């Protein structure tokens, strides 16, 4: 097992906790899962949702919102979190499903897959953000929940590391796009590669970035349902 990272001073007093989970358990929810997504704003690769049920009687310290941690810090925590969780799962919506369904439905699909992968009857789901992409009566939306709820923070790291590893694997097959560094997200190098080479097999071709490509003969693919595609996908 890798050594847990030494936290930077700015993160030491910003630990997510279990107060929300414990309150729900006290009110009758036996199994509480935290859920978070990654990849929504990416131009390529899957959209990924992590789901985690964590124990309330023991802790893995140094868990933080995945966006607050560096890639080596997340990698160092991944095995510890995965072994500590009561159960955890990651669900994906592929780049093709993102194109076919649109972002909202793709996110719902990935969430259903993640929760189904827990192999437990979940009584309540904690969701990071202000949009319920899980659905159902027993959900709680928490803005910046990955900095408040330990379950959501754990799910955020599990989802981020899993998707990052997939994008590093994709980089071996599509080396010109620098996926190992940008993970499919917009950046100048990624945009330059698109203009030089056009989209790869794993790019989301209904996304608005396709309208701006200088690569000849390649345009945005329109979805069959005629729904507009937002600038971020």
Strand partners, 48: 38, 92
Q: Pairing between strand 139-142 and 124-128?
A: parallel
Return d(Cα 123, Cα 121) in angstroms, integer.
6
pLDDT of residue 207: 84
Strand partners, 149: 17
Q: Which residues have C-beta within 8 Å of that of residue 172, sequence separation ≥ 6?
A: none
Mean pLDDT of the region 97-110: 96
- 18 three-class SS: coil
Given a contact cutoff of 8 angstroms between Cβ atoms, the answer to whether 67 and 40 are in contact is no
Given a contact cutoff of 8 angstroms between Cβ atoms, the answer to whether 152 and 142 are in contact is yes
Return d(Cα 86, Cα 41) in angstroms, integer.
30
Return d(Cα 21, Cα 117) in angstroms, integer.
20
Return d(Cα 199, Cα 42) in angstroms, integer.
13
Kind plus residue range of the DSSP H or E element containing 36? strand 32-38
Return d(Cα 206, Cα 219) in angstroms, integer.
9
- Enter the pTM of the model: 0.88
With DSSP H G I counted as helix, E B as strand and the rest as coil, what are the percentages for the chain, rounded to 5? 40, 15, 45
Place of tokens 């190098």: 189
Return d(Cα 24, Cα 172) in angstroms, integer.
44
pLDDT, tens only, 163-218: 999 999 999 999 999 999 999 999 999 999 999 999 999 999 998 888 888 776 66
pLDDT, tens only, 71-100: 998 999 999 999 999 999 999 999 999 999
Mean pLDDT of the region 97-125: 96
pLDDT, tens only, 22-75: 999 999 999 999 999 999 999 999 999 999 999 988 877 778 778 888 899 899
């Amino acid at each position: 097992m890798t050594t847990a990272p030494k936290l930077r001073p700015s993160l030491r007093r910003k630990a997510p906790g279990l107060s929300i989970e414990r309150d729900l358990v006290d009110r009758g929810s036996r199994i509480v899962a935290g859920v978070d997504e990654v990849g929504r704003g990416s131009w390529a690769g899957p959209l990924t949702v992590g789901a985690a049920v964590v124990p309330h009687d023991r802790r893995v310290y140094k868990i933080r919102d995945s966006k607050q941690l560096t890639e080596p810090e997340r990698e160092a925590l991944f095995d510890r979190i995965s072994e500590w969780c009561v159960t955890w799962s990651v669900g994906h919506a592929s780049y093709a499903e993102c194109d076919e369904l649109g972002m909202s439905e793709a996110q719902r699909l990935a969430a259903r897959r993640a929760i189904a992968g827990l192999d437990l009857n979940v009584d309540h789901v904690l969701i990071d953000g202000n949009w319920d992409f899980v659905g159902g009566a027993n959900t709680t939306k928490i803005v910046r929940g990955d900095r408040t709820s330990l379950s959501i923070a754990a799910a955020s790291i599990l989802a981020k590391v899993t998707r990052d590893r997939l994008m590093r694997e994709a980089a071996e097959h599509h080396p010109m796009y620098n996926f190992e560094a940008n993970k499919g997200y917009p950046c100048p190098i990624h945009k330059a590669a698109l203009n030089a080479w056009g989209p790869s097999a794993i790019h989301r071709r209904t996304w608005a970035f396709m309208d701006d490509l200088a690569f000849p003969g390649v345009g945005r693919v329109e979805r069959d349902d005629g729904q507009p595609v937002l600038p971020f996908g």
